[in-house]
Structure 1
Amino acid sequence: MWTLDELLDRVSAALTAEYSGAPNGRVRDVPDRRAVRWYATTGLVDRPSAMRGRTALYEKRHLLQLVAVKRLQSEGRTLAEIQAELAGATDTTLAAIARVPDGLLDSGDPPPRSEVRPRFWAEPVATPAPAPQAKAAPLNGVALGGGAVLLVPGAPTAADCADIAAAARPLLDLLAARGLLTNEREPS
């Protein structure tokens, strides 16, 4: 069994072979979710085989019906003509019209059983233990020039500041070239 989206993926894959699309451009080449629901309402396609909660589930026959409808539409037939032709059609008849590759007809694993969702809103809220507070060292700014300031923990000496400024020269050149330093920018 497949969900509607899974079914439409299979329909699309089935129609990639030997399918020229609708001849007049007034009909979609591949049905969308709304069209499938309408086809089921009008009896052109069987209603979903089962429901999982609010999710409709479809089977091999639905795939055959949808592909057959699209193949017949590509021949220029109206939905009324298609409905008359496919009314009461067996899976064998649908398979002959639809020509769906065998790999797409495999339903795969059965759908998982509906599991009862946990009632998360009814359970007490767990309060996390407070994280231990790390002692943060005070930050000090080292002026690099052009308005750039490097924040470092601790208290750098004058020699540290000079070495940091020298090491930052390539970065300052890049910032200046891109106009990102205050004294290098055009006034706005």
Structure 2
Amino acid sequence: MGFLIVVTLGGSLVALVLGVAGARRVGRTALLGEVVMLAAMADVHLPAMGFVPAPFWAVLLGGCAMVTALVDRVRRPRRPQGGHLHALGMLLGAVFVVLGAAHAGDSAGHHHGAALLLPVAVAVAVHVGAVAWSVGRRRVARTESVRRIAALVGLLAMGAMAAVH
């Protein structure tokens, strides 16, 4: 479990640093979403944390996802730059925050069956495919490609933590 926490926080931190330092800098809304995602991951999954309830983080991540996708669409209506992928990652992160907290005992204590986990697994598979396609098929700067992959690795590790709990 400790390894997954390190991978989750490391992937998110690398994505944040590359977003700030990249040649084509990521917009402020996406960076704000990265910061919220990092804070939510740390607060929910680190044993010494837990200052803010998981539903608050989930709502905040959902709001950041919607704003990120909207800003990306408004700024570049014909050629979005990947904000929609980042928004999908934040929405999946919100789901993982709630599932991780539910398994850790912060929620009502009920277990989620295949009826919930199957759609989440499908959404994760679609997200992985979309990120792989955007990195492999489009002309994306190397720094941006690494940032997207780092964010994906952090998100997948967060999902693994939610599944392992």
Larger fraction in strand = 1
Q: Name which one, 1 or 2, has greater alpha-carbon Rg.
A: 1
TM-score (norm 1): 0.20
Larger fraction in helix = 2
